[in-house]
Amino acid sequence: MPIYEYHCPSCDHKFELRRPMSEATAPASCPQCHNGARRTLSIFASISRGSSPALVPATGPACGSCAAFNQGYCSSPN
């Protein structure tokens, strides 16, 4: 199941929901203020398997362990 990102315009809270693709456009309720939230565009990184390793911006929780040592960049694919 994919994870979708949402933003609540009422309280400015950002959160994620794991939902089936069939519910991707269904309304979401903010877990803090319970008002309607809008789905936002998710950011992702793509790593190619070339001759040299590429550094990509660490944008997700999976990159937290190596980002601290690589100044905000992750060098290992997940």
Nearest to 15 by CA among 67, 74, 36: 36
Amino acid identity of residue 66, one-letter, is C
Domain hosting residue 16, numbered range: 3-39
The verdict on 11 and 31 lying in the same domain is: yes
The verdict on 34 and 60 lying in the same domain is: no
Give the tens place of pLDDT for each residue, 12-56: 999 999 999 999 889 999 999 999 999 998 877 677 676 555 555
Task: Give the per-residue pLDDT at 1.
Answer: 86
Q: How many domains does the chain have?
A: 2
Return the higher-pLDDT residue of 74 and 44: 44
Let me know: does 4 contact 42? Beta carbons within 8 Å: yes
The verdict on 9 and 35 lying in the same domain is: yes
The verdict on 27 and 53 lying in the same domain is: no
pTM to 2 decimals?
0.54
| pLDDT greater than 80 at residue 63 | no
